[in-house]
Amino acid sequence: MQVYKVGGAVRDRLLGLPVTDIDRVVVGATTEEMLAQGFRPVGADFPVFLHPKTGEEYALARTERKSGRGYGGFTFYASPEVTLEEDLIRRDLTINAMAEDDQQNLTDPYHGQRDLEARILRHVSPAFAEDPLRVLRVARFAARYAGLGFTVAPETLELMRELSESGELQALTAERSWKEISRALLEDQPQVFIEVLRDCGALKVLMPEVDALFGVPQPEAHHPEIDTGLHTLSVLQQAALHKQPLTVRWACLLHDLGKGLTPQEEWPRHIAHEHTGLKLIKAVNERFKAPKDCQELALLVGQYHTHGHRALELKASTLLELLQSFDVYRRPQRFEEFIAACEMDARGRKGLEQRSYPQADYLRGAATAARGVAVQPLLEQGFKGPALGEALKRERLKVLKAYKDAASA
């Protein structure tokens, strides 16, 4: 019975990066031997066990065979006869198919270390094409390691293209897809994830609404980058540079979907794209079963981001409607994330990345002013029920008019 560290722990150590998750493979052992040593089994599908003291995962070496469609369509075989090399060959990329023992002796049958040094993401074997989830995984690794100069090997990109065209991507569950998408969006260069998916044809299968933005022009006066797809990538890049949370990054990805519906004869203008895009944002939200906070913010940013950009020009009544739409009195954080998404949108334009965004502080000040209206005096005046709500609106409108006048003075 031999135990090896495998996958990401080996890869990141060799890259000089912090090692967080450690996966271990056990060669030459049976389930009964693991149980006899106090290991606790995890689930029924995989021969994976938890260490009796540390709680860390140990998996028996195994082989796998394609038996159906999608990510879950595999039959696994674990046995003491399965070698370390046989276990490693079923992995996705060569840089993830290395192992080391407790003395850090490296086992690298598929030249992962060579690909690490060459900064190449390369599949281990043709079996790569049996698992559609690997298209998303490779794109995610490309986003994670883009800053180190990693690129996807042409032959691997070709396999990803074949997978995208095969119909296998449709077999992915929303949960598995969202797990990869959300992790990729939180990488340092999430725009690379979208670029790789587009390069292999997966974007038009998974998110045709985003894919449709590429090649759609915008007015050059406002968008020097012109192309809506490139703008979306830049907005996502800005969100990562400014360490925005997942909710904001998801909203940044989807905020301009309505521009993909604009008839060509109306280009480069996109009148009412904020409203036409809502049904598309809703469709993408539902397709991947995005968390509720991501769904809500994406819809609100899609509908109101141009309000954010025009904040200083908005009438007090429109400003109040905006604040009410976000329920800034009970959900202040959501409005703050809206402001952040608007700022990323403004910065995601060629040559304008460093331009100040005074709308942000103006909107924060408006929200603070509206929240400052006290309810108690109105209650003491006898207002209640719907009448109280109307009285509150009148007072908030009065405060916002004074705020607007002071800001423009």
What integer is the mean pLDDT of 221-239? Answer: 97
Angle at which helices 190-199 and 154-166 cross, to 10°: 70
Contact 140, 193 (CB under 8 A): yes
- Residue 355 identity (one-letter amino acid): R
Q: Stretch 332-338: mean pLDDT, rounded?
A: 97
pLDDT tens string 100-128: 999 999 999 999 999 999 999 999 999 89
**Four-residue CA torsion sign, 132, 19, 99, 119:** positive
pLDDT band at 408, cuts 50/70/90? confident
Is the confidence at residue 163, as pLDDT, over 80? Answer: yes
The Cα–Cα gap between 209 and 258 comes to 9
Q: State residue 65's pLDDT score.
A: 66
Q: Among 60-74, 254-268, 341-355, where is mean pLDDT lowest? A: 60-74
Neighbouring-strand partners of residue 59: 25, 48
Average pLDDT, rounded, for the chain: 94
Structure tokens at 233: 């990538």
Phi, psi of 277 (to 5 degrees): -75, -15
Domains annotated for the chain, with CATH where assigned, are 1-117 (3.30.460.10), 119-206 (1.10.110.30)
Query: How many C-beta atoms surround the C-beta of residue 6 within 10 A?
Result: 24
Q: Are 18 and 12 in contact (CB under 8 A)?
A: yes
* 319-344 mean pLDDT: 96
Three-state SS for 120? Answer: strand
Q: Which pLDDT belongs to residue 62?
A: 86
**Confidence class for position 75, pLDDT limits 50, 70, 90:** low
As a whole number, mean pLDDT of residues 52-80 equals 74
Mean pLDDT for the stretch of residues 122-151: 96
Q: Specify whether the CB–CB gap between 299 and 282 falls below 8 A.
A: yes
**pLDDT tens for each residue of 241-286:** 999 999 999 999 999 999 999 999 999 999 999 999 999 999 999 9
What is the per-residue pLDDT across 9-21, written as a single tens digit (0 to 9) for each? 999 999 999 998 8
Best CA proximity match to 293, nearest among 226, 341, 357: 341
Is 221 exposed, middle or buried (CB count within 10 Å of its CB: 0-12, 13-18, 19+)?
exposed
Read off the pLDDT band of 69 (50, 70, 90): low
How far apart (Å, rounded) are the C-alpha atoms in residues 150 and 153?
9
Q: What is the DSSP letter of 388?
A: H
> CA 163 to CA 213: how far, in whole Å?
23
> Quick check: 215 and 221 in contact, CB under 8 A?
no
Render the burial of 335-366: b for 16+ CB within 10 Å, e for the rest.
Answer: bbbbbbbbbbbbbbbeeeeeeebebbebbeeb
**3-class DSSP assignment, residue 47:** coil
How do residues 24-49 score in pLDDT, each as one tens digit?
999 999 989 999 999 999 866 678 99
Residues 128, 92: Cα–Cα separation, whole Å: 6
Query: What is the model's pLDDT at position 44?
Result: 67
Most confident of 52-61, 159-168, 232-241, 381-390: 232-241
Residue 74 has pLDDT above 60, yes or no: no
Residue 210 pLDDT: 98
Residue pLDDT, tens place only, 299-319: 999 999 999 999 999 999 999
Q: Phi/psi at 117 (nearest 5 deg)?
A: -65, -35
pLDDT value of residue 380: 86
Tokens for 338, please give them.
Answer: 């809206």
| Residue 42 bridge partners (DSSP) | 48
Q: Is the preceding peptide bond at 208 cis, omega within 30 degrees of 0? A: no
Distance, C-alpha 371 to centroid of its chain: 32
d(CA 150, CA 127): 22
Whether residue 80 contacts residue 29, with contact meaning beta carbons closer than 8 Å, is answered with yes
% of the chain beyond a pLDDT of 90 = 85
